[in-house]
Structure formats: structure tokens, C-alpha cells
Amino acid sequence: MWRAILRIKKDHIRKNVESLYKYSGKPLIAVVKADAYGIGAIPISLLLQDMEEISAFAVACVEEGIELRKAGIKKKILVLGGVLKGEEKAFIEYKLTPVVSHMEHLKALENIPIPIQVKYDTGMGRLGFLEEVIEDERIEGVLSHLSTPLDENFSRLQIDSFKEIVKMYKGLKYIHMESSAGVIYRVPFASHIRVGLALYGEKPFQDYPVELKPAIEIRAKIISVKNLPTGFPISYSKSYITEKPTKVGVVAFGYADGLMKSLSNKAYLYYKGEPVKILGNITMDMTMIDLTGKEAQVGDWVGIVGENQSFTFLAKIAGTIPYELMTNLSSRIKREVV
Ligand SMILES: *Cc1c(COP(=O)(O)O)cnc(C)c1O
């Protein structure tokens, strides 16, 4: 029945976890914020939670944590965005672990007897204390975040500053700063890695040393096929005019589904494993493709992301990063775990 389906390949996600674990030698905190980067936080977390290599999950805000608890997630859930006044009760009720990065967060947690982790800003310029040491018996972990993992010199400075901070604490169970790209530093004094993108099979850069399997496939149905003569305009603003008689397919997937408009006239979708060009402007719910020479019919599937092209590849054409493309995926795409 569904016109657009996102398939989560369970085995591939699990392989990626194993590869990251082997490479880093550390258990994972799986980052599933923003609905697991648009893929679906509940199905992703459910398929990860029985893996030994997964120690905890990380989300951005308390509401995301509650959603996972309600779905039956039992492992630790870190809330990266901290805790504001009025939220503290939910942390107790749903057994969430706040990442404290400001004195106001600590104030909100006064007399709240739960484990906390403390974030340090070693060069990200976003969340975290600079170097003040927090004395609090509830602290079970400290973390920091690399801003530019591909800049080795700067990353080493961040790692060194974090090392000095870690020395000030005793008895920590969690010490972490490596994201997907950051795992290449194999930070020796860290206890965990904190990864999102790589779990889903997207390499943070070419020559990434961890072997990853593409784990997400998106396809959508063709809802119209017709032959148009030479000189016929396609889609809003007539940005494409046929140069020859053209068999034009309409795919039930548009920018509202996550296929960014900046891919218009630039990117390709895949029909039976072969590239078919996007013609004209991508519209809210539909995208036109060139099916000239293909036996395509209404009801056939077209591949958008998968073996043939990654989110990272499409994002590059769109002039953005895979994170943005992925978090644009709509909830109206059916999620399926296979
Ligand atoms: C999103 C996020 C991560 C995960 O980054 P990836 O590049 O997806 O691995 C790790 N740590 C923090 C603080 C984050 O916000």
C-alpha cells in the first residue's frame, strides 16, 4: 500500500556496531537524537538494545528520552541537551541521565538523586564548562565534543585539554569524546565512543578506516508515466525543457519527503539499478524522472537511497551534509525493519 518505504537493514546496522566496537575497542553510546537522524529512533534503538557493544543511547532532549522509554528501551539514555528547570521530574520518572553543561542545569537538579554526566567545551564553542571542576557525588561521567575531526592538529589540542580535565576526576564510569569521524583518534583514556552517522552506514569521510555497510534503503513508487514531445516544459518554473521525445515518470517522493529541492535537475534516482535523471524542479510530493528507453510502468519502484547512492553522495550534490538530508526525511515514509 505504501508509496514510499524506508528499509532498515538490521544485520547491516549490527555489523556496523561490531565494526566500530572492534576498531575502537570501546563500547558504544548510540546517538539516536532527532528520531535517529530521521531514520526512526524507536526501531533503531529496539534493534540495538540487546547488543552487548551498546552501553547507552544519546538523545538531544528530554522528550526524545521519554519516547524511547515508552517504547521499551531499558538501557541508559543520556540527554545531551542538559536539563532545564521544570524538566527534572521527568529525569527521575523515566530514569534519564542528564548531561550537565551549565550551572543552571545543576541548579535544576538540586536534591535530585540521579547519576549525571558533565560536558566540557574544549573547542566546540557550543555546550560545556571550560575548565571548572564540578564537585558532586552524582557525577558518573565526563564528555567533550570534537568540532573538526578532520583537522588533526586542532583535534589533538582538544583531546589534550580533555585529558587534563579527566585527570581532575576520580571513579568515572564514562569518559567519551569520539563521534563517528572522531573514532580515528582512538582516544586512549576514553571509555566509550559516542556515534551516530556511522551506525547508519554513512562514512564520515572517504577512506574511513572502519568498514561500514549501507543500512538504509529508500524507494518510492512511480505514479505516472507518459511520453512528452520535444520542447515540453517540466515542473514549476519550466527549469527543464525536453530536448527530445521523452518518457517522463512521476515518482511519489518530493521535497516534503526529504528530497531537497536543490537536487532538481542535478541528481539521479535509480530504476532497476540504473540511474535515471531528475527532470525539472522537485515538487512537494512528486519528482519527475527521465525513463526514456525503459520499460517502466505505473506502480514500479524507484530507488532513492541504497546500494546505488548514499545520503552522503546526495548531500554533496545538494550542497549540504548527510545529517541535514537525513533529518529532513518525512514521517509519512513507511519505516520497515528487515
Ligand atoms: C550528534 C552528536 C554526536 C554524534 O555524531 P556523529 O557524527 O553522528 O557520530 C556525538 N556527540 C554529540 C555531542 C552530538 O551532538
Residues 193 and 94 in one domain: yes
CATH number, position 184: 3.20.20.10
Q: Mutate which of 19, 120, 178, 179 to test ligand 1's pocket (most atoms within 8 Å of Cβ)?
A: 179
pLDDT digits (tens, 9 = 90+) for 100-118: 999 999 999 999 999 999 9
Q: Mutate which of 16, 44, 80, 155 to test ligand 1's pocket (most atoms within 8 Å of Cβ)?
A: 80
Ligand 1 atom at minimal distance to the Cα of residue 143: 13
CA of 90 to the centre of ligand 1 (A): 23
CA of 72 to the centre of ligand 1 (A): 23
Ligand 1 proximal residues by C-beta, below 6 Å: 31, 33, 80, 145, 179-181, 194-198
Q: How confident is the model at residue 270 (pLDDT cuts 50, 70, 90)?
A: very high
Residues 235 and 109 in one domain: no
Q: How many domains does the chain have?
A: 2
- Residues identified as active-site: 33, 236
Residues 167 and 220 in one domain: no
Residues 192 and 227 in one domain: no
Domain span holding position 172: 10-200
Q: Which helix (H) or strand (E) holds 123?
A: none
CA of 178 to the centre of ligand 1 (A): 8
Residues 185 and 312 in one domain: no
**Does residue 207 form part of some domain?**
no
Residue 160 in 3-state DSSP?
A: helix
> What mean pLDDT is reported for the chain?
98
Residues of the chain with pLDDT > 90, as a percent, come to 99
Ligand 1 atom at minimal distance to the Cα of residue 195: 9
- What's the CA gap between 193 and 208, in Å, rounded? 16
**Residues 183-197, buried b or exposed e (16+ Cβ, 10 A)?**
bbbebeebbbbbbbb
Looking at the predicted structure, is the pLDDT value of residue 131 above 90?
no
Q: Mutate which of 29, 31, 212 to test ligand 1's pocket (most atoms within 8 Å of Cβ)?
A: 31
CA of 255 to the centre of ligand 1 (A): 25
pLDDT digits (tens, 9 = 90+) for 150-182: 999 999 999 999 999 999 999 999 999 999 999
> What's the whole-model pTM score?
0.97
Q: Which of 148, 165, 200 is the last residue of a domain?
A: 200
- What's the CA gap between 230 and 218, in Å, rounded? 32
Neighbouring residues of 188: CB distance < 8 A, sequence distance ≥ 6: none
Q: How confident is the model at residue 244 (pLDDT cuts 50, 70, 90)?
A: very high
